Amino acid sequence: MNIEMGPVEERLRRTLETSGAAHLTLIDPDSQSPEAAGIMALAAAKGGTDGIMVGGSVGASGSVLQDTVRAIKSATNLPVILFPSSSAGLTPGADAVFFMSLLNSRSTSYLIENQALGAPLVLRYGIEPIPMAYVIVEPGGTVAWVGDAKCIPRAKPEIAVAYSLAGKFLGMRLVYLEAGSGAGSPVPLPFVAAVKRAVGKDTLLLVGGGIRKGEAAAELVRAGADIIVTGTAVEQSSDVSSFVSEINSSIKGRA
Ligand code: 1GP
């Protein structure tokens, strides 16, 4: 039997039913002060984002992580979902965690060891675990290097399909196709289309890495993405609320 679905996942699925797509804002605790993270989260909330992911490949742990989650929680009513690169990326106070395995990692650390080290903490902290397959496509960037990923070549969507199906058959209800934070271009559309076709409606497909414009986000949603993740473009935006609003108005209303 699969683990039970919790309120954060249910809320995301309800958003998909009503709006056709959802948007998550990724905040890296290492990129700004906790106070600035709270201000950014509030602006993203005003722009219509559906939740805040908190995580990063380097330095997203300890007190800076805990203070960032706390600041976001006090600034907004949005769900805060941890996006950890290791068991050090877990902290109390978050609502949920993408409990993921980097399926195309060469390292057992990122396949299962960090998950084993982190699982008792998830239980103790009372955070909702959301089972997710994490698959990295070229170029992959820092997360691919840190996670020792064998990046999927951009001309080989069938390999992403194979990994995504494996994740689904292992009981993961979400699949995240990642091009790497700050990638020159997002995951190619044929990947998104082929993976969505293979995993079906009930498995939620997240796409992130290199998404900077509403039109790019809309193309990914038309191809089959359920949830669009943006991090760098939000962080670099001079008007976070308008940027997030542009993304959200481009992807929603298609249900
Ligand atoms: C990184 O996919 C996310 O894990 C977000 O990428 O920073 O390029 O938006 P960006």
In this structure, what CATH number is given to the domain that contains residue 239?
3.20.20.390
The verdict on residue 50 lying in a domain is yes
The verdict on residue 3 lying in a domain is no
What is this structure's pTM?
Answer: 0.97
Number of structural domains in the chain = 1
The verdict on residue 167 lying in a domain is yes
Q: Over the stretch 69-124, which tens digit does the pLDDT of each residue have?
A: 999 999 999 999 999 999 999 999 999 999 999 999 999 999 999 999 999 999 99
Percent of the chain with pLDDT over 70: 98
The verdict on residue 251 lying in a domain is no
Range of the domain at 73: 9-245
Q: How many Å lie between the centroid of ligand 1 and the Cα of residue 181?
A: 4
- Is the per-residue pLDDT at 9 higher than 60? yes
Q: Cβ of 193: how many Cβ atoms within 10 Å?
A: 16
What atom in ligand 1 is closest to the CA of residue 212?
9
For a mutational test of ligand 1's pocket, the pick from 181, 192, 227, 244, i.e. the residue with the most ligand atoms closer than 8 A to its C-beta, is 181
**Can you give the pLDDT at residue 60?**
86
The verdict on residue 211 lying in a domain is yes
Q: How many Å lie between the centroid of ligand 1 and the Cα of residue 113?
A: 24
Q: How many Å lie between the centroid of ligand 1 and the Cα of residue 228?
A: 10
CA torsion 99-103-106-111 (nearest 10°) is 30
Ligand 1, CB cutoff 6 Å, lining residues: 26, 143, 178, 181-183, 208-211, 229-233
The verdict on residue 250 lying in a domain is no
CA atoms within 13 A on the CB side of 116: 6
Q: How far apart are CA 179 and CA 170, in angstroms?
A: 23
Which amino acid is it at 221? V
Q: Over the stretch 153-206, which tens digit does the pLDDT of each residue have?
A: 999 999 999 999 999 999 999 999 999 999 999 999 999 999 999 999 999 999
Is 69:100 a contact under the CB 8 Å cutoff? no
The verdict on residue 2 lying in a domain is no
